[in-house]
Amino acid sequence: MNWLCNHLAAQTTAVITTVITTAITTARATALTAALTTALTGLTLQGCQQLQRRSTLFIYLVPPSDAAEVVSRKQLNKLWAPVIDAYRELEPNVQLELQVIPEAGIFEQLQRRNSHGLGPDLVIVNANQAMDLQQKGLLRPIPLSRSLAESIEPTALARVKTAEGLAALPLVWSPQLSCYNRSRIAKPPNTVSDLLSLAAGGHRIGISFDPAGLWWSAGALGAEKSLATLLSPSKQSLRPAERQALLGWMQWLQQTAMHPQVNIYANDLELTKALQRGQLDWIPCSSLSLKSLANSLGGKLGIALLPSGPGGGPSPNSRMRVLGFGPNSSARQFQAAKTLAELILNPLMQRYMSLSDTQALPVNRHAPPPVASSALLKTLVAAQRQFQQDAPLQRLSLSLSKQQQIRQVFSRELTPMMVGEISPAAATDNLIEKLRQR
């Protein structure tokens, strides 16, 4: 076995060169190969010590319920091919089995399989859903080690932090920005006033009741801190100035919603489909929708940062995908899963993933995206910086169930205001009261 380990370590450089060179250009391959060799050789010597027999690592990929396109097994294997190939050299006797599981049925699926000791070893989900899964005992909490604290962005760790440690390991970011039809809008709006001017000029604007569809504008109207205070676990009372800021946001929402060229949708998926069908000209969107939109709109798809406003910059959301560890894994499977997680979170592999999948950005602070190679990546990085700036709203760690509860409150309390049945002042009072009661 020692001979095998030493031989495997010696072969790591050649294998990495082959994997990276076939995946990206020679220029990038040279830089990535040298840096990954040292990191993966160390992992090789750790992982190969445990290869006593063949085993399978089961991984569930859970796409968001509002994903604009269904992920096929072929697409999944293509996206993960470089990771899988590199992992095979670390753990040649461990087979990776990836399965796509719908978000709507993930709780029942995990409960049923975990109850029989057959749950997956790793689950790739959104951070807010991982919080719910861990609270229900369907994911194993991960201790926050010093190496994780030093390598992963603090904003990412805060999203999955629990009393027991981390609900899951951060994987990648998918920031929020704006998407528009370039054949109809020559210049994207820089401010919320510009956005309403576009609507006044006959351009069709879309917003949604999803938190991501509304909350970005709270920052632009100076109400982000007010909203964060209402949504915080402490449920503190608003100061007069904070209530006034919240009222100003409500007034803007009503003004915008009642404009004849502004259309309100239930969620991001409906917004995306409406832009694809040519029913809208501008929407707030997630980077997760960019491939689907590009397939439909081609060169007509434009992307830009969300508009700022009199209250400051926007307060965009950024979804985070995470790696959750199943509670049923044997000690050997758990170690194999940790080896895979370490590989994925390696700075150079994170950088490679952002090059191969331009919908996502690294969570490793030592893996700066190569913005010079792509105008799209440059825009995504700028959007992520907006998110990471002083953003009390986005620092809140909200589970999926809490977000759904908040969404129901927003929909119930703001709908009458947005159709003109009640005043923004009444809606402000109602929203404050209901959010305190939740």
Q: Is 252 helix (H, G, I), strand (E, B) or coil?
A: helix
Tokens 């830089």 belong to residue:
31
Give the DSSP letter of residue 308. Answer: B
The amino acid sitting at 431 is L
Distance CA 301, CA 296 (A): 9
Strands 262-265 and 205-208: parallel
| Per-residue pLDDT tens over the stretch 366-404 | 998 878 778 888 999 999 999 887 667 666 777 788 888
Q: Does the structure show a pLDDT above 60 at 43?
A: no
Beta-carbon contacts of 94 under 8 Å, excluding residues fewer than 6 positions away, are 51, 54, 55, 56, 57, 87, 336
Numbers of helices and strands, H then E, in the chain: 19, 12
CA 294 to chain CA mean position, Å: 19
Give the DSSP letter of residue 49. Answer: G
Q: How confident is the model at residue 70 (pLDDT cuts 50, 70, 90)?
A: low
Q: Residue 49 has what pLDDT?
A: 45
More confident residue, 292 or 42: 292
More confident residue, 4 or 59: 59
**Which tokens is 87 given?**
């992992």
Distance CA 102, CA 118 (A): 18
Distance CA 321, CA 389 (A): 20
pTM as predicted: 0.82
Domains of the chain: 2-171+319-382 (3.40.190.10), 174-318+390-437 (3.40.190.10)
Distance CA 242, CA 45 (A): 56
More confident residue, 208 or 170: 170
Angle of CA points 98, 101, 107, to nearest 5°: 125
Q: Does the structure show a pLDDT above 60 at 2?
A: no
Q: How confident is the model at residue 36 (pLDDT cuts 50, 70, 90)?
A: very low
- The residue-averaged pLDDT of 343-371 equals 85
Q: Residue 54 has what pLDDT?
A: 64
Q: What are phi and psi of 206, to 5 degrees?
A: -120, 135
